[in-house]
Structure 1
Amino acid sequence: MFDLAHEAFAKHGDSFFLEESGGVLLVSKALLEKRHKDIQKKEQSLYEQRQEALEVAKQRVFEEANEEISALVAQLQTPATFSLTPALPNETILLTDQTTVTLSNIEISSQLFLVLLEKTRVTVGESFSIAEHTDNEDCIRESGMARNSPFRLERQGVVSNFALENIKRIPPSSIGCSLKEVGLTETDLINILPKLRIHKDSKVGWFIVTAAEKEHVGPILAQGQTLYVGRVKKIALGGYAVSIVVNLRTNEDLEVEDLILDSTGKEHVAAVLEQEKPFCVGRVKDITLGGYAVSIFPKLGIRKHYKLRELWLNASEEENVSAIPTQYKTICVERVKNINILDYAAGILPKLIIHEDCEVELLNLSANRKEHVAAVLEQEKMFCVERVKNMRLCGYAVSVISKMSIHEDYRVENLKMYAEKEEHVAAVLAQGQTICVGRVKNMGLWGYAANILPKMRIHEDNIMEEFVLTAAREHYSRIFGEEDNSIELRKIRRDGFDVPSGTKKKLRYTLVDGRGKEVEENFFFF
């Protein structure tokens, strides 16, 4: 028999919704019951006449049933208007792009809504909502019986111009819903977002929106529509969708775990850069800016009385940083706990100023290629690093230490440098000037970073709690070229002093105990 339940994309009671090329067919199961009985009689007759041809014959019967449905569609009169309610008519109705379907005082499944959006002229009235689609369950409920069941709003690819016209006519915040996740990739359906009225208690795991074409987000940007996304855990915007970050509003009672913005073209962030005022991202724990999204960093505002946990700036191209508007000679950083700067984003360092009321826990710099730090090293002027408790420099970023000026009255808690290759430190070794690191509580040098030790100048009153050199003999070959007892380390706690034995005669240091009193060095014999 013709499997109506299988062919339908949604059901309600004994009625089924079928998607046809000409529209949406609303058909009652009873309509096909008589035809089903006829099919069964034909099958029995064919079986008795020639059993071996049964499968072929059955297929022919099924095709006849499908043809009957198609013929029925062609004969149906389509209504000009149709009000969708839980009480569906018993007759068969074809809803087309000439039918205005009114959605008011009901809740329907998300799947039914999206098909109606593509196939019919949709009008949204009061008390309308959409909910999760569940196979074999009714897809329409009165608004008073709404389940508010969360669903995933997902779509990839183009949406018809007809559907976009429908979306334009829908009033803002007129579609009630609860969401589990949002995943809209390279689709004009992004423009449905301002039309949603997301339940305030809706917990959204991921909110992912990417747009390769400006048209995907054009109406939102042009109208400046606010996008309330509720209680979201993680937000990721890509391409032109990065620009809608200024429109997003989240539940103020909940922290967003991650905000990830990534774009590969300058045009993707043009709308943000053209804004005169900065924008506030609300309560967000971690922010990652990738590609040209790095250039909007000066526009980023952190909510007052709130501190960002992690800030990641990752630029794979030099232009990602040069796209920062020229009026930003300096960029003030406020209320950020940890700052992580990767690759070409190192070019932003000379512009950074830590606000006087802010103390950064960690400044983490990493560069995999010498070009990543070339712009910083080419500058004649030093840049000041203040109010940073811990610094970690990796790869070619180790050379940036030569351009840093650490205020002598400020003490760095931890200074860690990692260099796996000799070329990572070649630039700093080629320079003639010394490197003033001021007051440092703990210092650790790994690999070839040990070779810059002779260039360092530590404050004369400094006492290090810990000084560690972790390197093989080939890593610190430059130290052997220094005179004995010539590399000044000042005072170091005896329990925190750990260097290869071959380097000790080149170092000048005083070991002290926990009270700062000079003590003898421990020697172990095996």
Structure 2
Amino acid sequence: MENNSIWVGKLKKLEPSDYTMSILPKLRIHEENVMEFLRLSASKPEHITEILKMENNSILIGKVNNLIFSDYAVGILPRLGIHGENEMEELGLLAEHFEYISEILRMENNSIRVGKMRSLVLGEHAVEIFPKLKICEEGGIEEFFMVTDNPENITEIFRTENKNISVWIRKAKKLRLENCAMQIFHNLKFQKENVIAEICLSADCPYHITEMFKMENKSIQIGKVKRLELNCYAI
């Protein structure tokens, strides 16, 4: 069947996974549809082979409140055409293995348009594609959650050309960093006048915070915080 040949009109929830991912381009969704929940999951590369052959922004999904990607499905993020006026409640990306995001890493920074969102969740290797996201400058991210067990996943974030990344994180009202993601905390350089509602830091193992152990006491400035939560080795 041709792409956009199956008229589904308006729908609230869609969760294709594995081989059913291939029907996503076939669906024709009403351009003014507001989907409450779209979850995409693919455990094998062949599940998204045909989609990866398509052009970026070619799969029109209208407006989405909650957009979740996991495993190989993360790789099709650039192929989705999100409504220009969309304001997401949450964008979640989880990639346990490097091959899930290898193609996206070849893209230029700020090249994947995701628009406005209230909450951004990045897990494991998906952390590495943060610089590739083009987030709407108006409003900013209210809640930012990052977790990874691999310190190499965070190295790309603080390269010189990606300094705007730390600006986005500092603007968040709620910040949650777990395990090796905690190591970006001392690089955020909060200002004294900065006000954040909640910071939660958690580390399951000592090696998750190796770099922070090397720092002097009281050397990490966090500005004004209404609620600070420290768990496990983060204490």
Give the shorter-chain TM-score range. Answer: 0.7 to 0.9
Which residue in 2 is equivalent to 1:195? 26
Asked whether the 8 Å contact 1:332–1:354 carries over to 2, the reply is no
Counterpart of 1:346 (choices 179, 182, 185) is 182
Q: Deviations over 1:159-183 (max 9, x none)?
A: xxxxxxx4xxx14x34432233211
Which residue in 1 is equivalent to 2:114? 281
Flag the structure with more relative contact order, 1 or 2, with Cα contacts below 8 A and sequence separation at least 6: 2
Are residues 383 and 263 of structure 1, via their aligned partners in 2, closer, same or farther at CA, if it must alter by over 3 Å? farther
The alpha-carbon deviation at position 198 of structure 1 amounts to 0.9
Which residue in 2 is equivalent to 1:213? 44
The alpha-carbon deviation at position 357 of structure 1 amounts to 11
Which residue in 2 is equivalent to 1:365? 201
Are residues 251 and 370 of structure 1, via their aligned partners in 2, closer, same or farther at CA, if it must alter by over 3 Å? same
The alpha-carbon deviation at position 378 of structure 1 amounts to 3.4
Structure 2: how far apart are the matches of 1:273 and 1:356? 34
Please, what TM-score do these two structures have when normalized by structure 1? 0.39
Structure 1: how far apart are the matches of 2:157 and 2:43? 23
Which residue in 1 is equivalent to 2:142? 309
Structure 2: how far apart are the matches of 1:353 and 1:224? 38
The alpha-carbon deviation at position 261 of structure 1 amounts to 0.8
Are residues 225 and 389 of structure 1, via their aligned partners in 2, closer, same or farther at CA, if it must alter by over 3 Å? same
The alpha-carbon deviation at position 392 of structure 1 amounts to 1.6
Structure 2: how far apart are the matches of 1:240 and 1:231? 22
Q: Letter of the aligned partner of 1:219 in structure 2?
A: E
Q: Letter of the aligned partner of 2:29 in structure 1?
A: I
Q: In terms of Rg, which structure is larger? A: 1
The answer to whether 1:263 aligns with 2:95 is: yes
Are residues 357 and 248 of structure 1, via their aligned partners in 2, closer, same or farther at CA, if it must alter by over 3 Å? farther
Asked whether the 8 Å contact 1:363–1:388 carries over to 2, the reply is no
Asked whether the 8 Å contact 1:336–1:358 carries over to 2, the reply is no
Are residues 180 and 296 of structure 1, via their aligned partners in 2, closer, same or farther at CA, if it must alter by over 3 Å? same
Asked whether the 8 Å contact 1:194–1:225 carries over to 2, the reply is no
The alpha-carbon deviation at position 195 of structure 1 amounts to 3.5
Are residues 269 and 356 of structure 1, via their aligned partners in 2, closer, same or farther at CA, if it must alter by over 3 Å? farther
Are residues 359 and 301 of structure 1, via their aligned partners in 2, closer, same or farther at CA, if it must alter by over 3 Å? farther
Residue segments in structure 2 that go unaligned for 5+ positions in a row? none
Cα RMSD (Å): 3.1
The alpha-carbon deviation at position 240 of structure 1 amounts to 1.4
Structure 2: how far apart are the matches of 1:326 and 1:307? 19
Residue segments in structure 1 that go unaligned for 5+ positions in a row? 1-165, 399-526
Which residue in 1 is equivalent to 2:7? 176
Which residue in 2 is equivalent to 1:375? 211
The answer to whether 1:392 aligns with 2:235 is: no
Structure 2: how far apart are the matches of 1:201 and 1:263? 30
